[in-house]
Amino acid sequence: VQPDATSQEIYDGGMVVRREVLGAAHVDRANANKDEFTEDFQDMITRIAWGGIWTRPGISRQMRSAVTITAMVAHGHWEELAMHIRAAITNGLSRDEIKEILLQTAIYCGVPSANTAFKTAQQVFKEMDTAPTPPN
């Protein structure tokens, strides 16, 4: 976070990165589905996670994706893992690099968690390979 950035600038920067990493369609869906109950949560993740952390210059987006994938495996957050595998591809990680990250998680997060992570990644890759190509 830039020390002199306003709260709105942090939010706006977070929204830019969130759209770049997760895709505009995902972010638009999340925003369209927010209501009085979830609005503060959506604001928090945009402002703090995306505007406060993902915008920092200390490590690359690829490294942030690797760390995030590992955290999702460690905590068993499979839906979020799928989302962040897609994001990792967007951020420039290859499928082979994702495989290596998941192999590493087998040692540090446990084989059963890595087993589910590999299945999740396979499903994501299958969906990506069979998705219709958007028109130019």
CATH of the domain at 74: 1.20.1290.10
User: Is residue 112 domain-shared with residue 96, that is, in the same domain?
Assistant: yes
Cα angle: 76, vertex 22, 69; to 5 degrees:
30
User: Distance between CA 81 and CA 120 in Å, rounded?
Assistant: 8
Query: What pLDDT was estimated at residue 133?
Result: 75
Q: Are 45 and 37 in contact (CB under 8 A)?
A: no
Query: What pLDDT was estimated at residue 102?
Result: 99
Q: Are 20 and 32 in contact (CB under 8 A)?
A: no
Whether 136 maps to a domain, the answer reads: no
Whether 125 maps to a domain, the answer reads: yes
User: Is residue 18 domain-shared with residue 44, that is, in the same domain?
Assistant: yes
Both structure tokens of 27: 């972010």
Query: What pLDDT was estimated at residue 79?
Result: 96
Query: What pLDDT was estimated at residue 132?
Result: 83
Count: domains in the chain: 2
Query: What pLDDT was estimated at residue 56?
Result: 93
Query: What pLDDT was estimated at residue 1?
Result: 60
User: Is residue 77 domain-shared with residue 99, that is, in the same domain?
Assistant: yes
Q: What is the mean pLDDT of each run of 10 residues along the chain (136 residues)?
A: 82 96 94 95 95 95 98 98 98 99 98 98 97 74
Query: What pLDDT was estimated at residue 53?
Result: 96
Give the containing element (helix H, strand E) for 120. Answer: helix 111-130
User: Distance between CA 52 and CA 126 in Å, rounded?
Assistant: 33
User: Is residue 122 domain-shared with residue 98, that is, in the same domain?
Assistant: yes
Burial of residue 1 (CB within 10 Å: 0-12, 13-18, 19+) is middle
Query: What pLDDT was estimated at residue 136?
Result: 63
Range of the domain at 125: 59-131
Query: What pLDDT was estimated at residue 2?
Result: 67
User: Is residue 6 domain-shared with residue 43, that is, in the same domain?
Assistant: yes
Domain edge (last residue) among 36, 58, 80: 58
Strand positions, DSSP E, 40-110: none
